[in-house]
Every structure is written in structure tokens, then in C-alpha cells.
Amino acid sequence: MNKQRVAVLFGGVSSEHEVSWKSAATILDGLDEEKYEIYPIGITRGGDWFYCPLPYDQIADGRWRQSPDKIPCTLSPSRADGGFLLFEQGGVKPLPVDVVFPALHGKNGEDGTVQGLLELAGLPYVGCGVLSSAVCMDKAVANTLLDAAGVPRCEWLWAGRVECADFEALRARVEGRLPYPIFVKPANAGSSVGISKAADAAQLKAAVATALAEDDKVVFERFVDGQEVECAVIGNDTVCATTPGEILASAEFYTYDDKYVSGTSRTAIPARLSEAKQQEVRGWAEKAYRVLGCTGLARADFFVERSTGEVLCNELNTLPGFTAISMYPKLMEEAGTPLPRLLDRLIALAVQRGEGRHG
């Protein structure tokens, strides 16, 4: 039996660069070597690409960056090459692959940029396509589409960098729409990077500056006192959402440090909800996935408001974490699909989608 050749991308020019190492190491370790030829491809913060035939623990902790065994490479946009080009001392050597697994988080990884490069190269890849990746990354665009489709969300608005320059006008607009406290987020960022909670105008001004350090658009959302729940969604044409799990954050809200640095957040699977409410969350997760054009996989994040029981969609993450503490693989395992089988299924969905691609 011929093995499928799978390239796993990690690192990247992103604020979530280090988290990607851990996701990639989990994926690499979970791939069945009897089924796959596995090629780890690391991208530095500066945007240089390397083939890294190294022990996976060196990828997880970042030692790959200093390894003398890594080989400079690039993805060829020419479909005739069928994958990567290695720059060795003897010249350029092709490294053809059958499918790519982008274990990249945040900008330049799950925002449609890498997906567009893979489309040009004619390579099947795990996860959402160019448009849905870009849409889900941009909270202002995604929220607008969810609103239009009737998917419930909290009250929100957005502003660009130019509008934010006149803070007093911005403050009047935001306070006219939302009560304090207000969550302030960069429109394009992941893993809670750049998010602040503002309790007054002074904190609002500081929060806008924090968000603008990450992106040119800022999203403002009403604070929701609710349970934070997440579903793992998988599929192309046929879509299935898992029973939701619940985030029991140790910080005031679920921050980047809470997720990946302190390791103090906890989860409950299934979420502490009635069976009827769990099914409602699943239904909205599947609808949001379809509305935003997702394929392959996404994690759908919701609030269940404590005072009303209303289910409110927060966002969809098109390349969720695959670290040891990440919710997506935990939810899939609880649903009866352990990591090796999950990776098999995601690769099969990528190939299926690639076979149906036109052009």
C-alpha cells in the first residue's frame, strides 16, 4: 500500500507562532506512520520555510529553529512540482506531497493566505477554503453574515483605524449602542490576543489602543454573563457538531495566558447544560458552520446567557488548537473519534474537497 504524503505546516508569521509548535507536535505524533509519509515544515517568524526531519519534541519546544538538520525549502505554486522544493547543497530537490495539514493559527495561517497559496499549487489541504477562512478570521465580516442569517449573537459594532482616531466621537457611538462593561477585540486575531474588557471610558480608550496594535479594525461587544461553551464541527457537505464542552476559565475571561501559558483553565465535557440546551447549541453550531462556508473542521464558540438561557454565537475558529489541552480534539475524542482517527478523517475530507475543486 502506497503511503499518503502529508506535509504539516507550523510556526508562521503570527502572534500565535509558539502555540502552533505544540499543535503541530500533537498532530505529527498522532499521524499513523504506517499510513503516511510525514513531512514537518516549519515557518519562522520572519517567514522563512524549512523542512524539519526532527524528533517531534524539538518542534514542540522550538528547538527546530536552531537545528542544523533543518533544510531550507519553499512551497512551489507550480502544480507541475506537486509540493515543496528543498534547497540542498547539491541543488534544488523536489519534495512532492499529496495533502497539506496547516497547523497554523492566527494571521497568515488561518485567514485564507496560506489556503490561497495551496490552491494555486493545486494541493489538497485540511480545513476551510480561502473565503471561509478569511471570513471567519474577520469578526466584523463574520458577525455581519451571522446576523443576516439569523444566528443569535450579542449586540456589537465595529470601527476602523481612521474612525478610532477621533476617540470622543467613537466613544459616543459605542456608549450609545453598548452598556459597560464592553469587550474590545481586534477584528482579525485569534486565541484571545489583544482582547480587553473595558468598564469605563478611560479603559475603553486603552482597550482600543491594545486592539489596534493587532489589527486595523476593532470590534466592540456587549459583555455577556454566561457559560462559555464550544462544539467541534466536522464535515464538508455533511456536517456534524459534537455535544458542547464548557470552558471553566481561571481568569476573568478566557485569555491567551489562561489557554496556553498558565494552564489553569479547566473544561467540562459535556457542558453543564440540559440535554435540550445542548442540542440547541449543536444546531446553531451546524448552521453557523454552513452560513460561513466552512469545510473540513471548525470550532464553534458560544455563550449561554445565565439570566435568559439564550444561546449566543461568539465566533468560529477554522484552525482550532490541537495542543494537549485544546478543546477540539477533546470533544472529538469524547464523541468517539480519538486523535489518530480524527486526523485520518480530516485528511480524507481534505482530499475529497480537493477532488471536487475546479480550475
pTM: 0.92
- State the maximum Cα–Cα separation within the chain, in Å, rounded to a whole number: 67
Residue 72 forms part of a structural domain: yes
- Residue 13 domain-assigned (yes or no): yes
Whether residue 229 sits in one domain with residue 215: no
pLDDT of 122 higher than 90: yes
Distance separating alpha carbons of residues 118 and 67, to the nearest angstrom: 26
**pLDDT exceeds cutoff 50 at 205:** yes
End-of-domain residue from the set 222, 249, 269: 222
Q: Is the pLDDT of residue 358 over 50?
A: no
**What pLDDT sits at residue 262?**
44
Question: What total number of domains does the chain contain?
Answer: 3
Q: Which domain covers residue 182, as residue numbers?
A: 156-222
pLDDT tens per residue across span 230-280: 999 999 999 999 999 999 966 555 454 555 454 556 899 999 999 999 999
For residue 279, being part of any structural domain is answered with: yes
**Is the pLDDT higher at 112 or at 358?**
112
| Banded model confidence at residue 93, pLDDT cuts 50, 70, 90 | very high
List pLDDT tens digits, range 41-65. Answer: 999 999 999 999 999 999 999 999 9
Q: Is residue 228 part of a domain?
A: yes
Using alpha carbons, list the distances in angstroms from residue 183 to 54, 216, 259. Answer: 42, 17, 18
Question: Does residue 136 lie within any of the structural domains?
Answer: no
Whether 116 and 18 map to the same domain: the answer is: yes
Contacts (Cβ under 8 Å, ≥6 apart) of 311: 152, 277, 280, 281, 284, 302, 303, 304
For residue range 296-329, list pLDDT tens digits in order.
999 999 999 999 999 999 999 999 999 988 999 9
CATH number of the structural domain spanning residue 170: 3.30.1490.20
Q: Mean pLDDT across the stretch 127-146? A: 97
Specify the pLDDT at position 324: 85
